[in-house]
Structures are given as C-alpha cells and as structure tokens.
Amino acid sequence: SAALMDCMETFFELLDKEKSAAVRAVLGHFVFVFIHPYPDGNGRIGRFLMNLMLASGGYPWTVIRLTQRKPYMETLEQASVNKDITAFTNFIAREMQVDWAKTT
C-alpha cells in the first residue's frame, strides 16, 4: 500500500540521517517492528537489521536469548503504547553487555 511505502521510505531516511550505529540499531529495530511491513517474521527481520546496524558501528552481534523473550516483547510493546523507547533501549543495552562479555 502507499501508506506502507511512505512509512518504509521514512524508515530508510531516518537510518540514513542518524550517525550513531547504536542509535540506528535500537531506533531502527523499533520503527521496523512498529511499521510491521510483513505478515510474519517482522521481529526476526528487525533483530537481524539491528545486528547489521550494530556491526556497522563495531558492536558485537547481540542475540536476544529465549529466556529474555518476555521482557523483550514487553519493552517493545511498552515503547509502542507509551511512545517512549527508553525501557526498550535499556533492555537492548543490557543484552549487548551480556553478549559483549562473551567476546572478551
């Protein structure tokens, strides 16, 4: 649809303008999942895109563990409902630290 195309265009413009890989990753993941362009797999694609953006900034690949799925989904939903991505950002930052520790 035209609305979806407009949203995706805005999504790519946002990513292009943001200089920080970490901000691009978290914001990009949230916005992609919020737009929800596909019937299925948006979360998986969003997490994949997040990791591509993190890697572009030299950050390690960050896996959301199955044990963290519930808080991941809760903070993602909270970000959408409250129009505030702070809790989601903090969740991703904590997950990045866990995975970063595995690489050292």
Residues designated catalytic: 36
DSSP per-residue string spanning 16-84: HH---HHHHHHHHHHHHHHH--SSS-HHHHHHHHHHHHHHHTTPPP----GGGHHHHHHHHHHHHHHT-
